[in-house]
């Protein structure tokens, strides 16, 4: 760990959000350390993705503060929000590639819009990032021609093309075969270690959580009910967390 990797980069304080009548986030407090890899686990539909979208200002909370480098982003206007997002990358659940553009154009788009680099430099950078995720020869293909795993890797290349400080992953391994899931997990780890990126991963895949996380936090009924290292998580006595990590239908969490 070097010096820039100290202190929290993102902090959530008492974040609440309700949709219609459902309380999705019910006072979330969470601190994410610089250069840390934090995995948020929880059941499908418990609000993990909603939490992730709060961190980037895609969704505004009803109550509470979200701090990035100590500044409350819930008070940001569109311009500041866009400036902040330059430091963020996000890998979406379905990769969310723009299907009217080629793979190369997808990866290059943030650079084309914001970097001011020449066409040749942009092309080279896009190719570099694609190589980083192990893809060559796909530059001129369209997203529809790619497999699920390749789409995720292209999404990852696009997420890191601006060399962000933070990368957010929404269910990075869902829908992939176990081998490809491991490839993606390895990439998340490599990026975080190699480029000093803070990663926040949302998943219900407990195996991936152990593999990529420095720390695991469990979101349950709108609150963070547990947080600890993978070892602490494996040893915890908390019945709710145990039920989740062991994947049992019986326990404090009502399965149906």
Partner 1 sequence: MNVFVILGRFFLDFIEEIGGMALLFWRVVQQGHRVFRNARNTLVQMETIGIGSIPLVLVTSVFVGAVASVQAAYQFQGYVPLRFLGAVVGKSVTLEVGPVLTALVVGGRVSAAIAAELGTMKVTEQIDAMEMIAIDPVEYLVLPRIAAATVMLPLLTVFADFLAILGGMVVAKLAVGVSFNTFESGLRLLFKYQDLVGGLMKTFVFGYIIAFMGCYNGFMTKGGAEGVGVATMRAVVQSCLLILVSNYLLALLIFRVIFAPD
- Contacting partner 1 (CB under 8 A), which of 3, 99, 120, 231? 99
Q: What is the DSSP code (8-state) at residue 164?
A: -
Binds partner 1 by CB under 8 A, chosen from 13, 69, 96, 234: 96
**Per-residue buried b or exposed e for 182-205, using 16+ beta carbons within 10 Å of the residue's own CB:** ebbbebbbebbeeeebbbbbbbbb
Give least dist CB 8 to partner 1, A: 21
What is the distance in angstroms between the CA of the first residue and the CA of the last residue of the chain? 44
For position 93 contacting partner 1 by CB under 8 A, the verdict is yes
Give the DSSP letter string of 176-231. S-HHHHHHHHHHHHHHHHHHT-EEEEEES-HHHHHHH-SEEEEEETTEEEEEE-HH
Taking CB under 8 A as the binding criterion, the range among 26-34, 109-117, 120-128, 232-240 that sits at the site for partner 1 is: 109-117
Q: Which of 21, 75, 113, 254 binds partner 1 (CB under 8 A)?
A: 113
Nearer to partner 1, 19 or 239 (CB): 19
Per-residue contact flags (x/-) with partner 1 for residues 159 to 198, judged by CB under 8 A = ---x------------------------------------
Burial class (CB in 10 A: 0-12, 13-18, 19+), 178: exposed
Tokens of 151: 């789409």
117 touches partner 1 by CB under 8 A: no
Spell out, one character per residue from 22 to 61, where the chain touches partner 1: x when CB under 8 A holds, - when not: -------------------------------x--x-x---
CA 6 vs CA 74, 177, 190, 196: distances in Å:
24, 36, 20, 12
Q: What are the backbone angles phi and psi of residue 205, rounded to the nearest 5°?
A: -90, 100
Exactly one of 68, 92, 226, 244 binds partner 1 (CB under 8 A); which one? 92
Residue 234 lies near partner 1 (rule: CB under 8 A) = no
Nearest distance in Å: CB 88, partner 1: 7
Q: Which one, 49 or 233, has the nearer CB to partner 1?
A: 49
Question: What is the three-class DSSP state of 89?
Answer: strand
Cα–Cα distance, 95 to 152 (Å, whole number) = 5
Minimum Å distance from CB 152 to partner 1? 13
Backbone angles phi, psi at 84, to 5 degrees: -65, -40
Q: What is the dihedral of CA 66, 70, 75, 79, to 10 degrees?
A: -110
Stretch that binds partner 1, among 108-116, 124-132, 134-142, 246-254 (CB under 8 A): 108-116
Binds partner 1 by CB under 8 A, chosen from 23, 26, 65, 86: 86
Choosing from 27, 76, 105, 109, the residue that interacts with partner 1 (CB under 8 A) is 109
Residue ranges that bind partner 1, judged by CB under 8 A? 53, 56, 58, 78, 82-83, 85-86, 88-90, 92-94, 96-99, 109-110, 113-114, 158, 162
């Amino acid at each position: 760990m070097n010096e820039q990797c100290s202190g929290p980069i993102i902090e959530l304080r008492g974040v609440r959000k309700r949709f219609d009548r459902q309380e999705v986030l019910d006072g979330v407090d969470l601190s994410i350390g610089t250069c840390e890899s934090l995995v948020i686990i929880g059941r499908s539909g418990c609000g993990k993705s909603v939490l992730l979208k709060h961190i980037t200002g895609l969704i505004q909370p009803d109550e509470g503060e979200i701090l990035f480098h100590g500044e409350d982003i819930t008070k940001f206007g569109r311009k500041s929000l866009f400036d902040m997002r330059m430091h963020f990358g996000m890998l979406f659940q379905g990769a969310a590639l723009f299907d009217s553009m080629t793979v190369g154009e997808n990866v290059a788009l943030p650079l084309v819009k914001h970097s001011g680099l020449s066409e040749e430099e942009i092309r080279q950078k896009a190719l570099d990032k694609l190589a980083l995720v192990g893809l060559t020869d796909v530059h001129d293909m369209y997203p529809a021609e790619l497999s699920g795993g390749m789409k995720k890797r292209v999404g990852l290349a696009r997420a890191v093309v601006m060399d962000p400080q933070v990368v957010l992953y929404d269910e990075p391994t869902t829908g992939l075969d176990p081998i490809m899931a491991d490839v993606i997990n390895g990439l998340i780890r490599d990026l975080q270690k190699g480029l000093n990126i803070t990663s926040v991963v949302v998943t219900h895949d407990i195996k991936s959580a152990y593999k990529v996380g420095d720390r695991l936090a469990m979101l349950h009924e709108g609150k963070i009910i547990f947080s600890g290292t993978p070892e602490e998580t494996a040893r915890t006595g908390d019945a709710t967390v145990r039920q989740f990590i062991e994947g049992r239908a019986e326990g404090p969490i009502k399965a149906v």
